[in-house]
């Protein structure tokens, strides 16, 4: 037996992703094993197993770091039943379990990233204020309160070049200065944590992984603009984030980082959590304010901007989670440092939820200005299964699709806008040859139409009419002139809508028509879906010579659309078939194929 | 009203006592609601019932019916004690405060609470609002006037307004809300037993001379006549022999219907001029069909003293005729021709004998009404009264002490009945009950009763009950609600089938002749005692 | 921004003076410059929902809604351009794509703001087909019919009910294309039935039940008069067709009620033409009323009053005039009592 380690630290990813993958059970298994071996009793505080927030590489959860005497080893895809062997061989035996070590993907995933706002996320225990304090947490607010005037804080943020991470990219310092100059003693700072893009979890991960950074950031912003109360408007569907944030607020109050006369510096600041009911449009500033005030989440025209007339009619600044969580790091490390990251007009880093058809999906933080290609092929490890890349969609449901030929586009506000996409809050969906761009556009438009608040006509009715045209096209009922009508109406909706939702809703449609017009034409003219996605445009057929009459497809078909059985040739009844593809998957002989409808029609 | 409706949106506070404003004066209530909701005005409502306006109130004082004077005195007591009175106003514009102070002395919050039931903390809070806010408007209606102390109650509101300097400025004032479309005009026109048009007393010799000359009539009476309630008494006593009723239905509107019925039966001759066969018309010897308001020209004067033009929309139905034409015809038949060509000529005569209306003509109010006093054709009208000076000179504080209502609940009649108006019906219902939609909104009368009382009497919501007072009895559906306090029941007087005024008392305020429709004692019985089945 | 300040702006190149608290729309309206609107209502808070009133402002990249955009000094506004016209037209076209084409039987026809705009933009052909909202007609109340199939979601009724009436009986519900105006939990309408929402509705979604199919706007004669109910003295516009009062509408230029009405003022007109109206004089003979001529009836009255006056004296006769009759009527009544009868016993029910 080797000499036992003198310190053991085990961190288990317990973000929502980690927990879903079994993080809580893994954690419990480690605690049990360490106790069983007497290590916990022996090493006391030098033997810890603790939870950490999201570490980004969610595809390989549960991620576990085992740190023995300062030496870190990372395991991926850990399950509770693997823990006894890990403890026995690695912790006790001193030999890491090679087979389960995080591999080259893990390294590649992290190599291209630059972590600022996520730098402590995934390494500290989000439920322990001391963990945050140990990494210099709350030194920024103390510095601000002790050494800086509010206007100096604003200048510092202006100098850093930080722009709003919620999507529009408005310079944060400049926005603050409007509220700081606005008359009145009563002002508010609101953190927009109403992350609503499908598949996005940037803000969620930050709140879950490092809630104190958000609290500290809000305090800094509050001090800068003269607000004594902050609201965090967060989705009720984020229970873990809400719980950790509430816990962190309690801890911060107990340590006098929130409350009256913070750290004796004569500044009062507190934070209230307001849970949103999950309306996408409440991510819009004025709708969010209406929601906090108890009204229906509906945007109102600006001006007046919230910086002049916001919550309860008082000057209000709304920043998103990522923007606010950046602040402590900027204060601590300086605006020059932050400005040195990123591109000329877009400073710092940006967090993305990288999803879709890349090998390595997860939460990433990259310097602004990085090429899309580097993200997809470097961090993301390329397209799954070696298939052909088709497009990357940035900016959530109202973003745009960027084709392969534009993959050199740098990720910054202006460049993305130029190619018809937007930065958005950080959604990044990669699509390959198996994705139908028409269906993709239809899907996103369906989302925005459902989430439209219904206030303005172009968004309420206009997106519905666009959606209906797309629905016709994917159903093989497209007509000549549809694309022109889509583009024409889309431009009018963009120009005429009241808020950002409507103003950007046509983006996925317009950008896919721009870059993938041939796919639209295939649907409209040839009634064919090149990616084989649109169900109305294909059907399944049994290839008679290959069918071995096993009857498996008949048994597995969930809707009973296949006739036949043992010793009888399978026959698919088109009218019943829902085109789920299970028969193709289960057929051991590849005897079922997908055929374009137009081909059968021509025969 | 001393002030104008439009001003109230800009008041800093409102004190509403005895007015169910949202139901009886909905459009004025809109101003108050807007003031509260959008301009941060404070609203103090004093009412025994939970009227809809309480929803908007900063403070609701639920005083006992008939304890208004005590409540007002209590408020003034606190205002003086806390030094919130407007000393400049008092010094420059009023007199006799010392006499009032003497009465107010005993109205400590504790004493006031005993009479009114309003917790002293609330009283003090209300007094502070009324005392501290700059522009406070006072509103009242029949909730404080229909009492034997009605006139004194009004004086008491005036005391409070003067004490706090809320008279003679925009957005303030003492504002009685008049209940009918032209009740103000009818008063202005001398439809009163003691006044010629424009509140010129009949027993002042100069006035007698003036009108004798103007009307070319030597036989004008020099002595005040009988008030409506006195006429009823006189008829019962056999002294009044004939009555000419135009557009009124006293048989339903006036307290103690049984008494009125007796009076009308006793008349030698009754003539009623109306648009419908009302309960009163049914007793008449002659009924004269009149035109409705859309069938005639003329003016209405609203509660803010604004004289506005009525325009003829239609010809009178059937053979019905416009009221003034009927009167003129009758007058001619009795030897006094009234040869007016149209209503504008009548208004010109009104202007010539009524200084308040001196400058008013139909032509001038063609586009927009004018508020009296408007003494001459150049005068722009008067949005608010008592600017700089009261009519009589200095504002006179009249000490008012609390006197209990004439009839309070006792063992035999254990409930206090109070009456009022509702939104969807009007007065005796002759009009609104002939409107399908309104009748559907509220098809029948009801009696509000507190759940605790209902429980004691084993009355369920919607159950018909017998309600009786010393004067009469009716059956009515009960509505079990917390809008009324325990031991108090409430009814509207719009419904002939369950006429609240069969129960009410005709005890009169000696000063104004108003009867105490707001307080009387009743007993309530289940209609059919539950029979035990054998 | 002192409200008193005057801003110099230009609209379509024309120099215009605007108040500091003006919106572009208000400043333009004052100058008589036409900007089409739908969700705008002069008595309600600016909404900016319909987008029909969009204009362009120099220096602002996006079109702005003129009904919500405050003026700033030196602002240069264009109310008309090809893009503006196109967008306005598209917006109206979109509304029409989800609006019944039943103008021939619609109560609002002839005073419908949507109809006017459709005409203004010449929208004889609608490019968009697709789903049309289907709602049950809501008329489970005595006076108001709500046909949300016609609703264009301008929110004017919602604002009217909230901001003016202070009731908040209806609000927006649901989202996207399914967004609609509804009562709480789609329950029955619980309100004061003031009907002011009807006046606010630009289309035929809200109608007064007593007035339905009683008269087209161009068939009725409108006469401004004063409401005959409580003492507020509201100005009302009585709509008459063929001698029958069919509708009461608000008087646009105000009155003390600024166009607002209550349930009685708005809906309480049916009694005027009610069959119960007295149409001939009646004289009671042997305990029963008998129809009489005016001469006959008035002679009976004159004879009886004369008889009693002679026999018992003037003060044996009393008169009750009326708080529901005009001042002129009342003046003559009291003059009659005081001169022809010779008594001061005249009164009315001012106290009830």
- Segment C248-267, tens digit of pLDDT: 998 877 789 999 999 999 99
Domain count, chain C: 4
Contacts of residue C172 in chain A, CB cutoff 8 Å?
A: 296, 298, 453-455
Q: Give the H/E segment covering residue C7.
A: strand C6-11
What are the φ/ψ torsions at residue A399 (nearest 5 degrees)? Answer: -85, -170
Contacts of residue C23 in chain A, CB cutoff 8 Å?
A: none
Q: Look at residue B446 and give its three-state secondary structure.
A: strand
Looking up residue A266, the CATH number of its domain turns out to be 3.40.50.11540
Which of C263, C278, C349 lies closest to B248 in CB terms? C349
Contacts of residue C24 in chain A, CB cutoff 8 Å?
A: none
Pair A266, A363 in one domain:
no
Tell whether C127 is covered by a domain.
no
Looking up residue B168, the CATH number of its domain turns out to be 3.40.228.10
For A62-107, give the DSSP string: SPEEEEETTEEEEE-S--GGGHHHHIIIIIIT----GGGB--HHHH
Take residue A554 and report the two structure tokens written for it: 């008949």
- Count Cβ atoms within 10 A of the Cβ of residue B311 and give its class: 0-12 exposed, 13-18 middle, 19 or more buried: middle
The position carrying tokens 């510095």 is A143
Test C347 with B284 for CB contact under 8 angstroms.
Answer: no
Over residues B70-121, the pLDDT tens digits come to 999 999 999 999 999 999 999 999 999 999 999 999 999 999 999 999 999 9
- Of B142, B157, B177, the one marking the end of a domain is B177
Give which of A328, A288, A281 is closest to A162, Cα–Cα: A328
Instruction: Name chain B's partners: 3 or more CB pairs within 8 A.
Output: C
Which of C70, C130, C155 lies closest to A468 in CB terms? C130
Helices B205-214, B343-353: inter-axial angle, 10-degree rounding: 150
The residue among B508 and A4 whose pLDDT is bigger is B508
Pair B330, B187 in one domain:
yes
Gap between the Cα atoms of B47 and B141, Å rounded: 11
Tell whether C233 is covered by a domain.
yes
- Of A284, A308, A339, the one marking the end of a domain is A339
- Percent of chain B topping pLDDT 70: 99
Q: How many angstroms away from the CA of C5 is the closest CA of chain A?
A: 18
Q: What's the Cα-to-Cα distance from B412 to each of B407, B409, B504, rounded to whole Å?
A: 12, 8, 16
Pair B154, B266 in one domain:
no
Over residues C112-161, the pLDDT tens digits come to 999 999 999 999 999 999 999 999 999 888 899 999 999 999 999 999 99
- Residue in chain C closest to B188 (alpha carbons) equals C327
Over residues C33-43, the pLDDT tens digits come to 999 999 999 99
The confidence score (pLDDT) of residue A43 equals 80
The confidence score (pLDDT) of residue C1 equals 44
The confidence score (pLDDT) of residue B244 equals 97
Pair B189, B166 in one domain:
no
The confidence score (pLDDT) of residue A397 equals 87
B72 contacts B159 by C-beta, under 8 angstroms:
yes
Pair B367, B251 in one domain:
yes
Pair B169, B209 in one domain:
no
- Of B147, B177, B207, the one marking the end of a domain is B177
Tell whether C190 is covered by a domain.
no
Pair A324, A427 in one domain:
no
Q: Look at residue B316 and give its three-state secondary structure.
A: coil
Tell whether B531 is covered by a domain.
no
Tell whether B393 is covered by a domain.
no
Pair C10, C34 in one domain:
yes
Pair B203, B170 in one domain:
no
The position carrying tokens 């139901």 is B23
Tell whether A308 is covered by a domain.
yes
Pair B165, B103 in one domain:
yes
Give which of A469, A455, A453, A454 is closest to A510, Cα–Cα: A469
Gap between the Cα atoms of C265 and C227, Å rounded: 6
Gap between the Cα atoms of A490 and A505, Å rounded: 8
Tell whether C308 is covered by a domain.
yes
Mean pLDDT to the nearest integer, B400-414: 94
Positions of chain A with pLDDT under 50: 1, 602-603
Take residue B209 and report the two structure tokens written for it: 């001379």
Over residues C269-306, the pLDDT tens digits come to 999 999 999 999 999 999 999 999 999 999 999 999 99
Contacts of residue A300 in chain C, CB cutoff 8 Å?
A: 48, 68
Pair C292, C342 in one domain:
no
Gap between the Cα atoms of A472 and A481, Å rounded: 13
* Overall size of chain A counted in residues: 603
- Of B159, B177, B195, the one marking the end of a domain is B177
Pair A414, A446 in one domain:
no
- Of A399, A432, A465, the one marking the end of a domain is A432
Looking up residue C232, the CATH number of its domain turns out to be 2.20.25.90
Take residue A464 and report the two structure tokens written for it: 């519905």
The confidence score (pLDDT) of residue A39 equals 80
Looking up residue B424, the CATH number of its domain turns out to be 2.40.40.20
Pair A275, A179 in one domain:
yes
The position carrying tokens 């009053």 is C305
The position carrying tokens 């007295």 is C278
Which of B246, B318, B493 lies closest to C321 in CB terms? B246
Tell whether A512 is covered by a domain.
yes
The confidence score (pLDDT) of residue C253 equals 73
Query: ipTM more than 0.90?
Result: yes
Q: Is the pLDDT of residue B531 over 70?
A: no
Give which of C348, C340, C341, C313 is closest to B190, Cα–Cα: C348
Tell whether B25 is covered by a domain.
yes
B343 contacts C328 by C-beta, under 8 angstroms:
yes
CB count in 10 Å sphere of residue A526: 14
- Of A496, A524, A552, the one marking the end of a domain is A524
Tell whether B398 is covered by a domain.
no
- Count Cβ atoms within 10 A of the Cβ of residue B487 and give its class: 0-12 exposed, 13-18 middle, 19 or more buried: middle
Tell whether C247 is covered by a domain.
yes
Pair A420, A502 in one domain:
no
The confidence score (pLDDT) of residue A1 equals 44
Looking up residue A501, the CATH number of its domain turns out to be 1.20.1440.230
- Residue in chain A closest to C72 (alpha carbons) equals A303
Take residue A173 and report the two structure tokens written for it: 């310092």
Pair C350, C304 in one domain:
no
Q: What's the Cα-to-Cα distance from C148 to each of B257, C47, C132, C154, rounded to whole Å?
A: 48, 20, 11, 12
Pair A27, A96 in one domain:
yes
Q: How many angstroms away from the CA of C326 is the closest CA of chain B?
A: 5
Query: What is the number of CB-based contacts under 8 A between chain B and chain C?
Result: 472
- Of C45, C65, C80, the one marking the end of a domain is C80
Q: Judging by DSSP bridges, how do beta strands A270-276 and A389-394 pair with one another?
A: unpaired
Tell whether A533 is covered by a domain.
no
Tell whether C105 is covered by a domain.
no
The confidence score (pLDDT) of residue A596 equals 86
Which residues in A have their CB inside 8 Å of a CB on C? 279, 281, 296, 298, 300-301, 303-304, 449-458, 460-465, 468, 485, 489, 492, 495-498, 503
Q: Is the pLDDT of residue B183 over 90?
A: yes
Pair A503, A556 in one domain:
no
Tell whether C48 is covered by a domain.
yes
Which of A304, A450, A461 lies closest to C175 in CB terms? A450
Tell whether B452 is covered by a domain.
yes
Over residues B113-133, the pLDDT tens digits come to 999 999 999 999 999 999 999
Pair A355, A262 in one domain:
no
Q: Grade residue B391 by pLDDT with cuts at 50, 70 and 90.
A: confident
Pair B321, B439 in one domain:
no
Domain count, chain A: 5
Domain that holds residue B54: 5-177
Among the residue ranges A328-337, B275-284, B490-499, C92-101, the one predicted with the least confidence is: B490-499
Pair A390, A490 in one domain:
no
Q: Judging by DSSP bridges, how do beta strands B415-420 and B488-492 pair with one another?
A: parallel
Pair B67, B171 in one domain:
yes
Domain count, chain B: 3
Pair B14, B29 in one domain:
yes
Contacts of residue B437 in chain C, CB cutoff 8 Å?
A: 142-143, 193, 209-210, 267, 270
Q: How many angstroms away from the CA of A495 is the closest CA of chain C?
A: 7
Tell me if chain A has a CB within 8 Å of the CB of C59: no
* Overall size of chain C counted in residues: 352
Tell whether B60 is covered by a domain.
yes
Q: How many CA atoms lie within 13 A of A452 on its CB side?
A: 33
The confidence score (pLDDT) of residue C2 equals 52
The position carrying tokens 């036409």 is C34
Domain that holds residue A478: 437-524
Q: Grade residue C69 by pLDDT with cuts at 50, 70 and 90.
A: very high
Contact call for B and C: 3+ CB–CB distances under 8 Å: yes
Pair B160, B189 in one domain:
no
Tell whether B274 is covered by a domain.
yes
Give which of B419, B398, B416 is closest to B515, Cα–Cα: B419
Take residue C73 and report the two structure tokens written for it: 């000094």
Looking up residue C74, the CATH number of its domain turns out to be 3.10.20.740
Pair A319, A171 in one domain:
yes
Q: Positive or negative CA dihedral for C140, C142, C148, C150?
A: positive
Take residue A83 and report the two structure tokens written for it: 């823990």
Pair A280, A327 in one domain:
yes
Domain that holds residue C299: 278-312
What are the φ/ψ torsions at residue B79 (nearest 5 degrees)? Answer: -60, -45
Pair A477, A500 in one domain:
yes
Tell whether C20 is covered by a domain.
yes
């Amino acid at each position: 037996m080797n000499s036992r380690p003198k310190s053991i630290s085990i961190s288990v990813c317990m973000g929502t992703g980690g927990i879903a993958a079994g993080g809580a059970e893994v954690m419990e298994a480690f605690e049990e094993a360490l106790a069983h071996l007497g290590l916990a009793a022996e090493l006391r505080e030098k033997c810890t197993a603790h939870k950490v927030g999201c570490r980004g590489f969610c595809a390989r959860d549960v991620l576990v770091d085992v740190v023995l005497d300062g030496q870190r080893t990372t395991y991926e895809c850990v399950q509770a039943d693997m823990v006894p062997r890990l403890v026995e061989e690695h912790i006790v035996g001193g030999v890491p379990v090679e087979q389960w070590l995080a591999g080259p993907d893990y390294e590649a995933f992290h190599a291209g990233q630059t972590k600022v706002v996520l730098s402590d996320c995934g390494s500290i225990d989000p439920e322990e204020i001391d963990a945050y304090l140990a990494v210099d947490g709350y030194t920024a607010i103390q510095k601000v309160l002790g050494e800086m005037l509010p206007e100096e804080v604003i200048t510092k943020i202006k100098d850093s070049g930080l722009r709003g991470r919620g999507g529009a990219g408005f310079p944060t310092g400049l926005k603050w200065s409007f509220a700081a100059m606005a008359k009145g003693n009563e002002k508010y700072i609101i953190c927009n944590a109403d992350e609503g893009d499908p598949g996005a979890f940037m803000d969620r991960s930050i709140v879950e992984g490092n809630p104190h950074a958000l609290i500290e950031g809000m305090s800094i912003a509050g001090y800068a603009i003269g607000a004594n109360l902050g609201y965090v408007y967060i989705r009720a569907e984020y229970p873990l984030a809400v719980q950790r944030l509430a816990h962190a607020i309690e801890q911060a109050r107990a340590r006098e980082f929130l409350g009256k006369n913070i750290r004796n510096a004569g500044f009062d600041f507190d934070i209230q959590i307001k849970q949103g009911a999950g309306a996408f449009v409440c991510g819009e500033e004025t709708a969010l304010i209406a929601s906090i005030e108890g009204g229906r989440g509906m945007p109102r025209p600006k001006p007046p901007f919230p910086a002049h007339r916001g919550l309860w009619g008082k000057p209000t600044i709304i920043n998103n989670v990522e923007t606010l969580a950046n602040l402590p790091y900027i204060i601590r490390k300086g605006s020059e440092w932050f400005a040195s990251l990123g591109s000329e007009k877009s400073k710092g880093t940006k967090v993305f939820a990288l999803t879709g058809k890349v090998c390595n999906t997860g939460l990433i933080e990259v310097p602004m200005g990085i090429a899309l290609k580097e993200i997809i092929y470097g961090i993301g490890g390329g397209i799954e299964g070696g298939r052909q890349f088709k497009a990357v969609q940035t900016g959530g449901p109202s973003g745009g699709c960027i084709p392969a030929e534009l993959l050199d586009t740098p990720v910054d506000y202006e460049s993305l806008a130029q190619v018809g996409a937007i930065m958005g809050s950080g959604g990044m969906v990669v699509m390959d040859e198996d994705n139908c761009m028409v269906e993709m556009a239809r899907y996103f438009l369906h989302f925005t139409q459902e989430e439209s608040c219904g206030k303005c006509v172009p968004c309420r009715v206009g997106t519905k009419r666009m959606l209906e045209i797309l629905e016709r096209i994917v159903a093989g009922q497209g007509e000549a002139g549809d694309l022109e009508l889509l583009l024409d109406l889309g431009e009018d909706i963009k120009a005429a809508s009241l808020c950002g939702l409507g103003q950007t809703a046509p983006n996925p449609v317009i950008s896919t028509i721009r870059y993938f017009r041939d796919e639209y034409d295939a649907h409209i003219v040839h009634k064919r879906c090149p990616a084989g996605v649109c169900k109305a445009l294909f059907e399944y057929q049994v290839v008679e010579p290959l069918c071995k009459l096993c009857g498996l497809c008949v048994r597995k078909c969930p809707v009973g659309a296949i006739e036949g059985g043992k010793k009888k040739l399978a026959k698919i009844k088109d009218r019943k078939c829902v085109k789920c593809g299970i028969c193709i998957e289960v057929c051991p002989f590849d005897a079922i194929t997908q055929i374009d409808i137009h081909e059968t029609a021509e025969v | 009203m001393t002030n104008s409706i439009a001003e109230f949106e800009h008041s800093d506070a409102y004190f509403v006592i005895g007015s169910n404003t949202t139901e009886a004066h909905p459009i004025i209530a809109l101003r108050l609601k807007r003031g509260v909701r959008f301009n941060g005005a404070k609203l103090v409502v004093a009412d025994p019932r939970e009227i809809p306006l309480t929803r908007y109130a900063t403070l609701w004082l639920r005083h006992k019916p008939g304890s208004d004077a005590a409540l007002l005195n209590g408020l003034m007591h606190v205002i003086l004690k806390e030094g919130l009175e407007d000393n400049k106003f008092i010094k420059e514009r009023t007199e006799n405060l010392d006499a009032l102070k003497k009465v107010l002395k005993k109205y400590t919050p504790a004493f006031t609470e005993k009479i009114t039931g309003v917790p002293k903390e609330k009283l003090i809070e209300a007094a502070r609002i009324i005392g501290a806010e700059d522009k406070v408007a006072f509103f009242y209606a029949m909730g404080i006037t229909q009492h034997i102390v009605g006139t004194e109650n009004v004086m008491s509101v005036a005391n409070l307004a003067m004490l706090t300097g809320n008279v003679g400025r925009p957005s303030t004032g003492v504002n009685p809300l008049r209940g009918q479309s032209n009740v103000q005009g009818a008063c202005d026109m001398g439809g009163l037993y003691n006044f010629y048009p424009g509140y010129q007393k009949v027993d002042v010799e100069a006035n007698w001379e003036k009108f004798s000359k103007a009307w070319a009539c030597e036989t004008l009476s020099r002595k005040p006549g009988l008030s409506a309630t006195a006429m009823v008494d006189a008829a019962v006593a056999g002294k009044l022999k004939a009555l000419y009723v135009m557009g009124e239905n006293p048989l339903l509107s006036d307290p103690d219907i049984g008494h009125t019925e007796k009076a009308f039966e006793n008349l030698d001759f009754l003539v009623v001029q109306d648009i419908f066969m009302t309960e009163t018309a049914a007793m008449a010897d002659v009924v004269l069909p009149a035109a409705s308001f859309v069938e005639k020209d003329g003016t209405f004067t609203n509660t803010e003293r604004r004289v506005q033009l009525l325009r003829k929309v239609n010809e009178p139905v059937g053979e019905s005729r416009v009221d003034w034409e009927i009167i003129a015809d009758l007058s001619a038949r009795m030897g006094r021709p009234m040869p007016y060509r149209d209503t504008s000529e009548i208004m010109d005569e009104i202007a010539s004998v009524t200084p308040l209306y001196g400058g008013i003509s139909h032509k001038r109010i063609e586009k927009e009404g004018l508020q009296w006093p408007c003494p001459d054709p150049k005068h722009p009208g008067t949005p608010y009264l008592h600017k700089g000076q009261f009519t009589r000179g200095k504002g006179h504080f009249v000490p008012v002490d609390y006197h209990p209502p004439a009839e309070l609940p006792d063992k035999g009649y254990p409930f206090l009945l109070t009456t009022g108006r509702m939104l969807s019906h009007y007065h005796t219902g002759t009009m609104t009950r002939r409107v399908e939609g309104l009748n559907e909104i509220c098809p029948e009368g009801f009696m509000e009763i507190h759940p605790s009382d209902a429980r004691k009497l084993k009355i369920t919501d919607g159950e018909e009950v017998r309600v009786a007072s010393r004067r009469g009895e009716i059956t009515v559906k009960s509505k079990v609600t917390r809008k009324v306090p325990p031991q108090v029941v409430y009814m509207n007087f719009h419904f002939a089938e369950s006429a609240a005024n069969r129960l009410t008392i005709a005890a009169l305020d000696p000063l104004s002749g108003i009867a105490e429709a707001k307080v009387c004692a009743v007993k309530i019985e289940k209609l059919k005692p539950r029979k035990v089945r054998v | 921004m002192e409200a008193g300040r005057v801003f110099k702006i230009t609209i379509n190149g024309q120099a215009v003076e605007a108040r500091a608290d003006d919106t572009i729309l208000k400043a333009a309206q004052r100058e008589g410059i036409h900007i089409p609107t739908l969700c705008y209502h002069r008595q309600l808070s600016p909404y900016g929902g319909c987008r029909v009133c969009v204009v362009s402002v120099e220096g602002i990249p996006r079109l702005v809604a003129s009904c919500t955009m405050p003026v700033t000094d030196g602002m240069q506004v264009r109310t008309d351009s090809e893009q503006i016209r196109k967008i306005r037209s598209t917006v109206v076209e979109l509304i029409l794509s989800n609006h019944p084409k039943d103008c021939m039987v619609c109560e609002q026809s002839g005073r419908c703001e949507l109809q006017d705009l459709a005409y203004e933009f010449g929208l004889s052909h609608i490019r968009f087909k697709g789903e049309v909202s289907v709602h049950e007609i809501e008329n489970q109340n005595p006076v108001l019919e709500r046909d949300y199939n016609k609703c264009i979601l301008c929110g004017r009724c919602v604002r009217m009910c909230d901001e003016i009436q202070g009731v908040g009986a209806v609000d927006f519900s649901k989202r996207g294309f399914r967004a609609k105006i509804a009562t709480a939990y789609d329950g029955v309408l619980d309100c004061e039935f003031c009907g002011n929402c009807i006046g606010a509705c630009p289309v035929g979604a809200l109608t007064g039940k007593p007035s339905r199919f009683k008269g087209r706007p161009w068939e009725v004669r409108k006469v401004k008069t004063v409401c005959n109910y409580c003492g507020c003295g509201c100005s009302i516009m009585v709509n008459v067709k063929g001698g029958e009062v069919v509708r009461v509408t608000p008087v646009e230029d105000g009155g003390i009620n600024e166009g607002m009405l209550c349930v009685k003022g708005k809906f309480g007109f049916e009694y005027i033409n009610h069959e119960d109206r007295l149409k001939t004089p009646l004289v009671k003979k042997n305990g029963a009323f008998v129809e009489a001529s005016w001469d006959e009836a008035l002679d009976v009255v004159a004879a009886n009053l004369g008889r009693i006056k002679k026999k018992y004296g003037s003060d044996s006769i009393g008169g009750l005039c009326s708080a529901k009759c005009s001042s002129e009527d009342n003046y003559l009544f009291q003059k009659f009592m005081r001169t022809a009868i010779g008594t001061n016993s005249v009164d009315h029910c001012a106290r009830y």
